[in-house]
C-alpha cells in the first residue's frame, strides 16, 4: 500500500514525487516514457513577467514559479544533486524589421533605457549592446533586455529531480498504468502492466496522454497534444556560453547553451495528433524564423531536430487540482508551452494539497471549470 501513486515522470510528475518524498510520504512514480515526452524536447525558457504578489491567479502562478526556481535548485543541491541544467543567462526581446516597430513600442512602453549592466530591471538597449549579448543578430530595430531571464534543460532537470526524490525515498517504476480502480468515489488502486497496486491517493501527471483517465473518472479531461518541433544548431568553435535567450515578435525564440549550441524553435501544431514526426514544413518554419532574427546562424550545422507533445488544454490554462467526484485523485497537467517554467512549482502545489498544507490560491485552475 502506497500513500500516493504518481502517474507520469515528466517534469510535473517528478516534481510531485520529489515534494511528497521529501515530506516523508511513501510515493511511487510510474512512467511509461512515451516517445514525444514534452519534457525531453522543451526549449527551457523561464519567462520573466509574472507577478507573485498579483491577485490574478495566472500572473501569480507564473511569478511564484519563477521565484521558486533558485530555492528549488538549492534544495536539489542539498539533496546531493548538483547538475540541474538551470542557469540565469538573461533574455532579449528583439524587433528586427520596421514592420515590428509598432509591436515593439507597445512591448517597451514604460521600460527605461539602459545597458542592463548595473541593475536587474528590464531595459531598452541599443542595437550594438543587443549584438554584444547575442552576436548572431544583425539589424535590430528595438531590443528589451531582461537580465533575470533564465533557462533550464528539461531532460537534466527531470533527471535531477528524480534522483533527489529517490534519495528521499521516492520509488520509481518503468511501466504503463492501464487503469484506475474507482469505487464509491474513491480510487483505491491502479493497475500497472496487469499488476494491481493499492494506494491512498493518485496523481495524474501524464502530460498529453492524461486524457486517457477521463472516462474512468467520469469527467472529460480536455487535454491533448500540441506538437513542437525544435532544432539544435551546432556553432562549431563559437563560444555561446555568455549569450542570452532571444525572443522575436513572431512567437519564436533562440536559446543558447554552454556547449556551442543554440536551440531554435518551435512549431505549435494542434492538428498533428500523437504523431512524433519531424516534417519539412516544421523544419522550414523554425529555421527560416531563426535566420530572419539572427542571420549569423546561417552557417551553423543542424545537429538534431527534437519533437515533443506539449500537453495543451482547450482554454490554454493548466489543470491543477483534485477530481470533484473522486477527491483522492489529483490532476496536474495541461501546462502547454510553459511546463518547464511552471512544473517544479505546480508539482509542489499539488504535493502540498495532498499533504493537507494547500490553500485555494490556484483553485481557479481546477478541472471543475470544464464541467
Ligand X SMILES: Cc1cc2nc3c(=O)[nH]c(=O)nc-3n(C[C@H](O)[C@H](O)[C@H](O)COP(=O)(O)OP(=O)(O)OC[C@H]3O[C@@H](n4cnc5c(N)ncnc54)[C@H](O)[C@@H]3O)c2cc1C
For ligand X, the closer CB: 26 or 176: 176
Q: Report the nearest approach of ligand X to the CB of residue 98 (Å).
A: 28
Task: Look up residue 300 and give its three cell numbers.
Answer: 551553423
For ligand X, the closer CB: 313 or 322: 313
- Is 41 strand, coil or helix? helix
Q: Report the nearest approach of ligand X to the CB of residue 14 (Å).
A: 8
Q: Report the nearest approach of ligand X to the CB of residue 317 (Å).
A: 12
Exposed e or buried b per residue across 93-124, where buried means at least 16 C-beta atoms within 10 angstroms of its C-beta: bbbbeeebeeebeeebeebeebebeeeeebbb
CA–CA separation, 96 and 140 (whole Å): 5
Q: Report the nearest approach of ligand X to the CB of residue 126 (Å).
A: 27
CA–CA separation, 249 and 135 (whole Å): 18
Contact set with ligand X (CB under 6 A):
7-13, 30-34, 37-39, 41-45, 154, 176-177, 205-209, 228, 230, 265-266, 308, 310-311, 333, 335-341, 343
Q: Which helix (H) or strand (E) holds 94?
A: strand 91-95
Which residue shows C-alpha cell 498529453?
A: 208
Q: Report the nearest approach of ligand X to the CB of residue 231 (Å).
A: 10
For ligand X, the closer CB: 124 or 329: 329
For ligand X, the closer CB: 209 or 243: 209
Those residues with Cβ within 8 angstroms of residue 111's Cβ, 6 or more apart along the chain or in another chain = 122, 123, 124, 144
Q: Report the nearest approach of ligand X to the CB of residue 35 (Å).
A: 9
- Does the bond joining 266 to the residue before it have cis omega, within 30 degrees of 0? yes
Q: Which residue is nearest to ligand X (CB)?
A: 339
CA–CA separation, 216 and 236 (whole Å): 51
Give the pairing of strands 123-125 and 142-146: antiparallel
What residues pair up with 71 in beta bridges, in sequence order?
none
CA–CA separation, 205 and 221 (whole Å): 12
For ligand X, the closer CB: 97 or 261: 261
For ligand X, the closer CB: 141 or 216: 216
For ligand X, the closer CB: 138 or 259: 259
For ligand X, the closer CB: 13 or 321: 13
For ligand X, the closer CB: 147 or 318: 318
Residue 126: CB atoms within 10 Å: 14
Q: Dump the DSSP string for 273-335.
A: TT-----HHHHHHHHHHHHHH-GGGTT-EEEEEEEEEEEEETTSS-EEEEETTEEEEEEEE--
Residue 356: CB atoms within 10 Å: 6
Q: Report the nearest approach of ligand X to the CB of residue 272 (Å).
A: 12
Q: Report the nearest approach of ligand X to the CB of residue 39 (Å).
A: 3
Q: Report the nearest approach of ligand X to the CB of residue 263 (Å).
A: 9
Tell me, what DSSP letter sits at residue 264?
E
Amino acid at each position: 500500500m502506497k500513500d500516493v501513486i504518481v502517474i507520469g515522470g515528466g517534469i510535473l510528475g517528478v516534481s510531485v514525487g520529489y515534494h511528497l518524498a521529501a515530506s516523508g510520504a511513501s510515493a511511487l512514480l510510474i512512467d511509461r516514457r512515451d516517445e514525444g515526452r514534452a519534457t525531453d524536447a522543451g526549449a527551457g525558457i523561464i519567462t520573466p513577467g509574472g507577478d507573485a504578489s498579483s491577485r490574478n491567479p495566472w500572473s501569480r502562478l507564473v511569478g511564484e514559479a519563477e521565484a521558486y526556481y533558485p530555492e528549488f535548485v538549492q534544495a536539489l543541491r542539498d539533496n546531493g544533486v548538483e547538475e540541474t541544467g538551470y542557469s540565469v543567462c538573461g533574455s532579449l526581446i528583439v524587433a528586427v524589421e520596421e514592420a515590428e516597430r509598432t509591436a515593439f513600442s507597445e512591448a517597451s512602453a514604460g521600460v527605461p533605457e539602459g545597458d542592463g549592466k548595473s541593475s536587474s530591471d528590464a531595459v531598452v538597449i541599443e542595437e550594438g549592446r543587443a549584438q554584444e549579448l547575442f552576436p548572431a543578430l544583425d539589424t535590430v530595430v528595438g531590443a528589451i533586455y531582461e537580465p533575470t531571464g533564465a533557462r533550464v534543460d528539461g531532460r537534466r532537470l527531470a533527471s535531477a529531480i528524480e534522483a533527489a526524490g529517490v534519495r528521499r525515498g521516492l520509488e520509481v517504476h518503468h511501466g504503463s498504468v492501464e487503469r484506475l480502480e474507482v469505487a464509491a468515489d474513491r480510487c483505491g488502486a491502479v493497475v500497472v502492466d496487469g499488476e494491481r497496486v493499492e494506494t491512498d491517493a493518485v496523481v495524474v501527471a501524464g502530460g498529453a496522454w492524461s486524457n486517457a483517465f477521463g472516462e474512468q473518472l467520469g469527467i472529460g479531461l480536455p487535454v491533448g497534444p500540441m506538437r513542437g518541433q525544435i532544432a539544435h544548431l551546432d556553432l562549431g568553435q563559437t563560444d555561446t556560453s555568455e549569450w542570452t535567450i532571444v525572443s522575436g515578435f513572431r512567437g519564436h525564440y533562440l536559446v543558447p547553451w554552454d556547449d556551442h549550441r543554440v536551440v531554435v524553435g518551435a512549431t505549435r501544431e494542434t492538428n498533428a495528433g500523437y504523431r512524433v514526426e519531424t516534417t519539412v514544413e516544421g523544419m522550414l518554419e523554425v529555421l527560416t524564423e531563426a535566420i530572419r532574427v539572427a542571420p549569423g546562424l546561417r552557417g551553423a550545422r543542424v545537429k538534431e531536430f527534437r519533437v515533443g507533445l506539449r500537453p495543451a488544454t482547450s482554454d490554454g490554462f493548466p489543470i491543477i487540482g483534485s477530481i470533484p467526484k473522486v477527491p483522492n485523485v489529483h490532476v496536474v497537467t495541461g501546462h502547454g508551452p510553459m511546463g518547464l517554467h511552471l512544473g517544479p512549482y505546480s508539482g509542489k502545489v499539488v504535493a502540498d494539497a495532498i499533504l493537507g498544507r494547500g490553500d485555494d490560491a490556484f483553485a481557479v485552475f481546477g478541472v471543475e471549470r470544464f464541467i
